[in-house]
Copies of this chain bind each other. A is one copy, B any other.
Amino acid sequence: MRFRTSQLRLYLVTDRALSLGRDLEWVVGEAVKGGVSMVQLREKDMDTRGFIDLGSRLLRLLRPLGVPLIINDRVDVALAVDADGVHIGQSDMPYETARRLLGPDKIIGLSVENMDELRQAESLDVDYVAVSPVYSTATKTDTAAPFGLDGLREAVRLTRHPVVAIGGMNENTAPAVFAAGADGIAVVSAICSAPDPAAASAKLLSSL
């Protein structure tokens, strides 16, 4: 799959714990019906076999729809299921190693939590950077100080990479985030915890 920046527009990061006990495959399916353009499967407490099984199921759902599936952190899972790429943070596998293992055609996104990390990412051929967090959020409590809108604007100005904004994204915050130059918003709870993930996704998309 050829990665296009436009696929970052409405980017779902999964969280089973926030999915109200519903099957994650169903949540993702609904989200995509509502317009989600990219999916990152994030699992921190699942054994490898379960992670691979879930990734395979999501890939069978998403690939026919042309929606990229990205695996958080685990390059082994991405390789095992032939996902479209990985999303890595600063304490995950170094970018160069991940690129060597995945090859030139897979998507690799990198989280940056401050301007220093953003500057370091300029020398890497990542496919996008996730500016994290733009706003503080209850979903992730171990995050760095928020960039805020001004920080996001500066990040967009500084970087040559496409930018997805994460942290506190919802239909109220999204318009200003796009106005600040982000190519997309990464959403967790606003979709995973929505009573109707399809409607929530469509509403987010219409707010952009």
Chain A interface (Cβ < 8 Å from any Cβ of B): 47-50, 52, 73-77, 79-80, 90-94, 97, 101
| Consensus secondary structure, chain A interface | helix
Chain B residues with CB under 8 A of A92: 47-49
**Contact, CB under 8 Å: A48 / B91:** yes
**Contact, CB under 8 Å: B94 / A49:** yes
**Contact, CB under 8 Å: B47 / A91:** yes
- List the B residue with the shortest CB-CB distance to A50: B91
Chain B residues with CB under 8 A of A48: 73-74, 91-93
**Contact, CB under 8 Å: A97 / B73:** no
**Contact, CB under 8 Å: B52 / A93:** yes
A130 to chain B, nearest CB (A): 17
Chain B residues with CB under 8 A of A93: 48-49, 52, 76, 80
Chain B residues with CB under 8 A of A79: 75-76, 101
